[in-house]
Amino acid sequence: MKDTIDPAVIPTYDDVVAAHERIKPHIHRTPVLTSSYFNDLVGAELFFKCENFQKAGAFKVRGACNAVFGLSDALAERGVATHSSGNHALSLSYAAGRRGIPCNVVMPRTAPEAKKAAVRGYGGIITECEPSTTSREAVFAEVQERTGAEFVHPYNDPRVVAGQGTCSREFMEQTDGLDMMIAPIGGGGMISGCCLTLSNIAPEVQIIAAEPEQADDAYRSFKAGHIIADDAPVTIADGLKVPLKDLTWHFVSNHVSDILTASEQEIIDAMKLTWQRMKIVMEPSCAVPLATILKNKDKFAGKRVGVIVTGGNVDLDKLPWITG
């Protein structure tokens, strides 16, 4: 598993601690919920870290705030820019709004309307692209050229990874020890944050990533030992379509114990069951961990498992078990 990244750009745990201080005024310390229903169903003790209750509706606000509030005044003046399948766009718009600087966002035209409206609600300026990595990167280059804004990548950015690392730091403070932590993997920002934090403060905790079968590039990368990137995978878990990059691959290849996958139907079933039993609105992407737990109960039986519920930004007029 070769690692081609410059060690100087890899964030340290000190960066996580600094990020936490920097972003605390701008984020929620989200609650941890438990459900005896799911504990009985799985035969494990599950703890759900509810980042769907986070500011802007997702964990991504942690990394976005760390990047935005870490900028010098001179850099901040020109604003920030990014491309995102949704939640990073919301989060960066929110963070930029809190600092009073502009935020330019390139989003796929197919992104949920609810997400686009929310980006605009936070003051973000949207330029649309086609729903592929290639198109996104091309349109973005044009926008950045035009605005001169500071690029904050949704995940392949040390400031963002350090920010996401604050989530597992809080999670460990809120629970009395865990055997495993599981989170969805798309580009790998949240998982990388978990790896960074846990490898420093709780190296005994196994880190599991969960991915849609239909966008299983991280799974295949993990098995192959190098990054495999798909251009435009099709899955209901719209936050997980992007590929690993060198920084997140560094953390995934060094610290993740396993990557598990779930089918579209398994993701929808887990999503609906969570709404029904836990009374929380979670988006398809963040139902993937529970879907993989439910199909691999043996792996989790008897363990204390931290599940990161990554976001809750859903178009309530298009629920997959009603329209699908």
Least Å distance, CB 53 to a second copy, is 6
Least Å distance, CB 128 to a second copy, is 22
Nearer to a second copy, 72 or 276 (CB): 276
Burial pattern 262-287, b for ≥16 Cβ within 10 A else e, equals: bebebbbbbbebbbeebebbbbbbbb
Nearer to a second copy, 14 or 173 (CB): 173
Nearer to a second copy, 58 or 244 (CB): 58
Least Å distance, CB 22 to a second copy, is 19
Nearer to a second copy, 17 or 319 (CB): 319
- Residues whose CB is less than 8 angstroms from the CB of residue 78 and which lie 6 or more positions away in sequence, other chains included: 147, 148, 149, 150
Least Å distance, CB 165 to a second copy, is 23
Burial pattern 195-231, b for ≥16 Cβ within 10 A else e, equals: bbbbeebbeebbbbbbbbbbbbbbbbbbeeeebbebe
- Kindly tell me the burial class for residue 53, based on how many C-beta atoms sit within 10 Å of its own C-beta (0-12, 13-18, 19 or more): middle
Q: What are the two backbone dihedrals, phi and then psi, of residue 178, each rounded to the nearest 5 degrees?
A: -130, 150
Least Å distance, CB 77 to a second copy, is 26
- Which residues are at the interface with a second copy (CB under 8 A)? 31, 33, 36, 50, 52-53, 55, 57, 114, 272, 275-276, 278-282, 312, 316-317, 319, 321-322
Nearer to a second copy, 151 or 275 (CB): 275
